[in-house]
Structure 1
């Protein structure tokens, strides 16, 4: 059983970042001298969220299925929630670029669907992170968090709700879609943000000593001398 909060913290940071970028995307307004600014904010939100979803599919989902009791049921519920969100994100992209099938919808309706789907997905991902955190030891959790960050670097930047998400087919699909997305992002001039900094490993006791920065376990206060 792990004692580090590194995976939970990473998930919380990702969710906070997605929420901030959703708020910016919903603003929609753009000054006359920057007519593309509204589109750029939507692109950033879509890319950030899509990359995180694909990374979770690649790293957390197989680990939960293998290590967590009742992991299969947990993963099934998570993947259903992910697909619902990806469908909505694809809806946003189509609405942004003026698909003829989107003319009967208003932006307020689209963003309302995003709110519902994103909240549901965050809830399922937090459960996934919690269950992994109480199942794995600290070393495995730190490695898992690092792998999650690395996976975002090479993840597709667009939602792909109808491609395989798990297993070997999912791995191949992500590699193909990553290449295809990079090509179309360049062609369409879409804004794809740089990934957030890699989570730092908690310093060990020796490092804490030399840094003069002791960090005590709240449940086990230091012994009195």
Structure 2
């Protein structure tokens, strides 16, 4: 049985963040002139929720299946709840951009459904985490927490409830969906935010040679240098 709470703490922090984004998004009063133009708080809630769900699919679900007795059953029970939340996030975007299919739902009704679905997803997620903490080691939990944070940085910014979520097919879908979502976001001028990317590593000796930009301990790289002839 694990003793660390790092995974539980990380997931709770993410849900607190999503709850804050949801509260901000639902506080926006939509006006007719905003239709089809998007709203940054709503876009950021949608994108943040989508990225988080994709990250859970990428990192948490395989760990539960591999380390928990009956893990496949836990994952199977979780997926309908996650897909339902993804469908609602899709409806939020359609509502935001004035889809005629959304005229029968008010914003307040839709936000209430989203809040309930987010709570239900967290409940099912907690159930998996409890089993994982009981049956996995601290090292596994630390690795899962790190993988969730890393997966969120490269996750698609839109929900894909009808596509595979687990296994190799799920990984392939997420890899393909991310650039497609990025192009669509750019075309729609959506403000999707997202986790900050990790800083680039300094180039090694081989890359310094290939780039023609050697760096020595007593001669750090000059960020303003353009590597023009005669500059050195």
Match of 2:208 in 1: none
Residue 190 in structure 1 maps to residue 190 in structure 2: yes
Looking at structure 2, the residues matched to 79 and 30 of structure 1 have their Cα atoms a distance apart, in angstroms, of 32
1:162-173 residue pairs with structure 2 within 5 A?
162-173=162-173
Moved more, 147-156 or 134-143: 134-143
Match of 1:10 in 2: 10
Match of 2:97 in 1: 97
1:18/1:173 Cα in 2 relative to 1: closer, same or farther (>3 Å)? same
User: Unmatched 5+ residue regions in structure 2?
Assistant: 199-232
**Cα offset, 1:153, TM superposition:** 0.6
1:15-34 residue pairs with structure 2 within 5 A?
15-29=15-29
**What's the TM-score once normalised by structure 1's chain length?**
0.82
**Cα offset, 1:36, TM superposition:** 9.9
Q: Deviations over 1:181-202 (max 9, x none)?
A: 111111111112232799xxxx
Moved over 6 A (4+): 34-38
Match of 1:70 in 2: 70
**What's the TM-score once normalised by structure 2's chain length?**
0.79
1:45/1:25 Cα in 2 relative to 1: closer, same or farther (>3 Å)? same
Match of 1:140 in 2: 140
Matched-pair contact (CA < 8 Å) for 2:153–2:196: no
1:35-114 residue pairs with structure 2 within 5 A?
39-114=39-114
1:13/1:197 Cα in 2 relative to 1: closer, same or farther (>3 Å)? farther
Q: Deviations over 1:46-99 (max 9, x none)?
A: 111100000100111111111111111111111111011111111111111111
Root-mean-square deviation over aligned CA pairs? 2.2
Match of 1:223 in 2: none
Looking at structure 1, the residues matched to 133 and 93 of structure 2 have their Cα atoms a distance apart, in angstroms, of 34
Matched-pair contact (CA < 8 Å) for 1:30–1:36: no
Q: Deviations over 1:97-118 (max 9, x none)?
A: 1111111211111111101111
Residue 159 in structure 1 maps to residue 155 in structure 2: no
Moved more, 119-128 or 186-195: 186-195
Looking at structure 1, the residues matched to 125 and 7 of structure 2 have their Cα atoms a distance apart, in angstroms, of 11
User: Unmatched 5+ residue regions in structure 1?
Assistant: 199-225
1:30/1:90 Cα in 2 relative to 1: closer, same or farther (>3 Å)? closer
Looking at structure 2, the residues matched to 87 and 107 of structure 1 have their Cα atoms a distance apart, in angstroms, of 15
Larger radius of gyration: 2
Matched-pair contact (CA < 8 Å) for 2:36–2:98: no
Matched-pair contact (CA < 8 Å) for 1:29–1:38: no
1:73/1:86 Cα in 2 relative to 1: closer, same or farther (>3 Å)? same
SS at match of 2:39: helix
